[in-house]
Amino acid sequence: MSQSTIESILQEQRLFSPPPELAEQAHIKSFAEYEQLYAKAKADPAAFWAELAEQELDWFEPWHTVLDWQPPFAKWFVGGKLNITYNCLDRHLKTWRRNKAALIWEGEPGDSRTLTYAQLHREVCQAANVLKQLGVTKGDRVGIYMPMVPEAAIAMLACARIGAPHTVVFGGFSAEALKDRLNDAQAKLVITADGGFRKDKTIPLKAAVDQALTNDGAPSVQNVLVVQRTKEAISMQTGRDHWWHDLLAEASADCPPEPMDSEDMLFILYTSGTTGRPKGVVHTTAGYNLYTHMTCKWAFDLKDTDVYWCTADVGWITGHSYIVYGPLSNGATSLMYEGVPRPSNPGCFWDVVEKYGVNIFYTAPTAIRAFIKLGNEYPQARDLSSLRILGTVGEPINPEAWIWYQQVIGGSKCPIVDTWWQTETGGFMITPLAGATPTKPGSATRPFPGILADVVDLEGNPVADNEGGYLVIRHPWPSMMRTVYGDDERFRHTYWEHLPPRNGQYIYFAGDGARRDQDGYFWIMGRVDDVINVSGHRLGTMEIESALVSHPAVAEAAVVGRPDDLKGEDIFAFVTLENTQSPSEDLKAELKQHVVNEIGVIARPGEIRFAEALPKTRSGKIIRRFLRNLASGEELVGDASTMEDQSVLEKLRQGF
C-alpha cells in the first residue's frame, strides 16, 4: 500500500449503520444479534456449526463427530455423507425454485443465457455422465481451463457430482503454468474451450492446452473435452480431444450424486506463496459447503428474490465460493459475466446491473478504482436503483474508493461488505453482515461468527488495540484448507509454524498484517511476506524471479511490489544480465514477454531495471527492503551496514 493510503486508513473515523429498512428484513438484523451469535459460536464452536449443518444442508448420512482436530489437520462432520451438488441443485428441484433462474449468463459480445435450476441440474448430470464415459471415476482429478461461460460452472459441478476433484486454472495463465498445475494434480482429463472473449479479442485456450500437452508435457492427461465458444479454428487430436456438445447431446440426464464422505476432496486450487512453486490448496466437501453457504447467506443477506452478481472469474477462489457453490447452495440466482470494462464498453458493468436488475454486486477495489478514473458519467447514465448491497474483496480498499462506491454506485443506501479472506480459508473470515454490522471505510470490520481472529506479535502474543501485528486465526473453521496437495509438511510449515504453538494450541498464520481498533474492528494492512497483490491477483515474487532467470540472458533477478494507484501494487523487477549480454529496451520487452509465457499476462512486470549488481548481505541474501524503497521512490529505510558492498546501492540509486 502507498504511504498516502496507509495514512488515510489510519485517520478514518466514519461509521455507517445498515439502513433500517434493510436491517429489519435481514437474516441477521442487528449488531446485538451478531454479537450474540459470535459469543455463542466462541463458547462452543462445534455445537454452533453442528446446529447450522443440520438446519442448512441435506445429508445422505449423519456425521458422528463434529470436529476431529489433530493440529494442524482438521476433519469436520466426520462420518457424514453428502454431495455438494445435491445441496446446490437437487434439493431445490423439489421446491418452487425448480424453475427459478440458477445462473444468468451474459457473454462479452452480448449473447446471453439463463439456466433454471432444473436446466442446470440436467446439464450437470449430462456432463457428469460424459466424464464417466471418458473414464473419470471418484477421486480422479480433472483440470478446468475455461472462459467465463456457464459450462465452466457446469464442469465444476459435474466433477463434484461424481466425486472427481476439480482443479480450475484461470484462463489468464499460460500454457507453461497450466502444465505445471496439471502435472502437480496429476489430472486425468482437461475441460477447456476453443477460446474465450476478452476485451474484444479472443484468447486461444485450446491452443494453450495443446502446447501444455505437447511432447508428453502432462502425461497423466488422457482426454480433453472442448466447449465451443469462439468458433475459431482449432486442432482436435483424434482419440484425445472431444467436443463437449457432441458428447453431451448423447448423454443421459440421469446421474445420481455420488455419496461423498464429509472429508472427501472437493477441489484443489493453486495459489502463490512466499517460496517455490504454487501450492495446491485442498478443500473438502462438507465443511466447505456449510461455510460458503452460511457466509453467503449472512454477509450478503442473500434472499430468494435477489439477483446476485460476483464479478470474479471462476478460476479464483472467489468464483468457486461465491459464484458457484455458496449462492447455488442457497438456491440463489447467480449472475456470470464474461466481459470486463474495456475501451469499447467502459459502462458494461452498469449495463449488466440495469439489464438484470442486480441486487447484490461484489467486486474488487482495483475495479472500483478503475471506475473512478473512468468518470461518474457511466454509472450515472444507468439505472442502478436495484442495488441493495455492495461487496468488495481481494485487497485493502482505500477509504476514498469505499466512499465513492457507496455514494456513486450504491446511491448512499447500500451497505459495503468488505470481505477479508483467502484461497486457504475457503470463505469470508472478517466481514460485515450486511444488515447488522456498522461499517467503517477501509475496515473489513469484525470476524464472522465462529472465527477467532486475532492480531499478534512474532511470539504469538496479542498486541494492544491499534497496534500493528500479524493476523492469525485461533480455532479451526469448517472451510479451512486441509493440506497442500501431496505435501502435508509444506502445509504445516507455511501456515502453522510461523508462530510457536502456545499451550499446545496451534494458530493459523494468514500472511497479512493487521490492526484491531478499540471497537474490535480489523484493518488489513497487506501481505507481510513475499507475496504481491496486483489488481487483486496474488503472485509470489519468487515465481516471477524464477521465470526471469529461466531466460538465458538473465543472471539474477529480484522482484518487489511497487504501490500503484490502480492496481494496488505493480511488479517491479531488478535484473542483472549474463556477461555476454548488454541492456536494451528490446531485451526488456523480451523479458516481459518471457514472464507472460512462463506464468501468464497477470504476471507481466510493469517495470524492469537492469542493474550491475543487487544489494546483498554478507551471506549473499538479496536485501529486498532497499529494492522496495527504491522502486517506490521512498527514502531507504533500515541499516545498510550488513551489506556486502555499499557501492551497489549507490549505483542503483543513481538510476532513479
Q: Which is nearer to ligand PRX, 257 or 526 (CB)?
A: 526
Nearer Cβ to ligand PRX, position 316 or 572? 316
Indicate the SS3 state at residue 37. helix
Contact positions with ligand PRX (CB under 6 A) in 436-495: 444
Window contacting ligand PRX (CB under 6 A); options: 162-170, 230-238, 349-357, 504-512: 504-512
Residue number with CB closer to ligand PRX (311 or 318) = 318
Which of 420, 506, 610, 626 touches ligand PRX by CB under 6 A? 420
Among 423, 479, 494, 576, indicate the residue that binds ligand PRX (CB under 6 A).
Answer: 423
Q: How far is the CB of 422 from ligand PRX (least distance, A)?
A: 4
Determine, following the binding rule CB under 6 A, whether residue 419 of this chain makes contact with ligand PRX: yes
Residues 253-312 that bind ligand PRX (CB under 6 A): 271
Task: Report, in Å, the least distance between residue 543 CB and ligand PRX.
Answer: 13
Cβ contacts of 480 within 8 Å, gap of 6 or more: 74, 287, 424, 425, 426, 508
Q: Shortest gap between Cβ of 3 and ligand PRX (angstroms)?
A: 17
The residue among 419 and 483 lying less far from ligand PRX, judged by its C-beta, is: 419
How many Cα atoms within 13 Å fall on the side-chain side of residue 399?
Answer: 18
Q: What is the DSSP letter of 397?
A: P
CB of 534 to ligand PRX, least distance (A): 11
Among 12, 108, 264, 418, binds ligand PRX (CB under 6 A): 418
Applying the rule CB under 6 A, the residues between 389 and 408 that interact with ligand PRX are: 393-396
Supply 504's cell numbers.
499446545
Which residue(s) pair with 284 in the sheet?
265
State yes or no: residue 421 binds ligand PRX (CB under 6 A): yes
Q: How many residues bind ligand PRX (CB under 6 A)?
A: 22
Residue nearest to ligand PRX (CB): 423
Give 401 or 587: the residue with its C-beta nearer to ligand PRX: 401
Task: Write the CB contacts of 372 (distance below 8 Å, at least 6 apart in sequence).
Answer: 400, 401, 404
Residue choice 82, 472, 524, 548 for contact with ligand PRX (CB under 6 A): 524
Tell me the C-alpha distance between 301 and 26, whole Å.
Answer: 6
Separation between Cα atoms, residue 187 and residue 142, nearest integer Å = 5
Of 97-105, 207-215, 287-295, 388-396, which segment contacts ligand PRX by CB under 6 A?
Answer: 388-396
415 binds ligand PRX (CB under 6 A): no
Pairing type for strands 265-271 and 522-527 reads unpaired
Q: Smallest gap, in angstroms, from Cβ of residue 352 to ligand PRX?
A: 21
Q: Are the C-beta atoms of 92 and 120 separated by less than 8 Å?
A: no
What is the rounded CA–CA span in Å between residue 581 and residue 548?
14
Q: 24-54 burial, b if ≥16 CB within 10 A, otherwise e?
A: eebbbbbbebbeebbeebbeebbebbbebbe
Q: Closest Cα to residue 160, out of 194, 186, 121, 114?
A: 121
**Residue recorded with cell 454452533:** 48
Cis ω for the linkage preceding 147 (within 30 of 0): no
- Closer CB to ligand PRX, 356 or 361, in the complex: 361
CB count within 10 Å of CB 651 equals: 13
Q: Spell out, one character per residue from 28 to 67, where the chain touches ligand PRX: x when CB under 6 A holds, - when not.
A: ----------------------------------------
Place of cell 462438507: 286
Output 262 or 272, the one with its CB closest to ligand PRX. 272
Backbone φ and ψ of 61, nearest 5°: -145, 140
Closest C-alpha among 303, 652, 367, 297 to residue 537: 367
Contact mark string toward ligand PRX, 532..561, x via CB under 6 A: -x----x-----------------------
Stretch that binds ligand PRX, among 105-113, 229-237, 509-517, 600-608 (CB under 6 A): 509-517
Between 421 and 626, name the residue whose CB sits nearer to ligand PRX: 421
Binding part of the chain for ligand PRX, among 121-129, 382-390, 519-527, 610-618 by CB under 6 A, reads 519-527
DSSP 157-187: HHHHHHT--EEE--TTB-HHHHHHHHHHHT-
Residues at the interface with ligand PRX (CB under 6 A): 271, 317-318, 393-396, 418-423, 444, 510-512, 524, 526-527, 533, 538
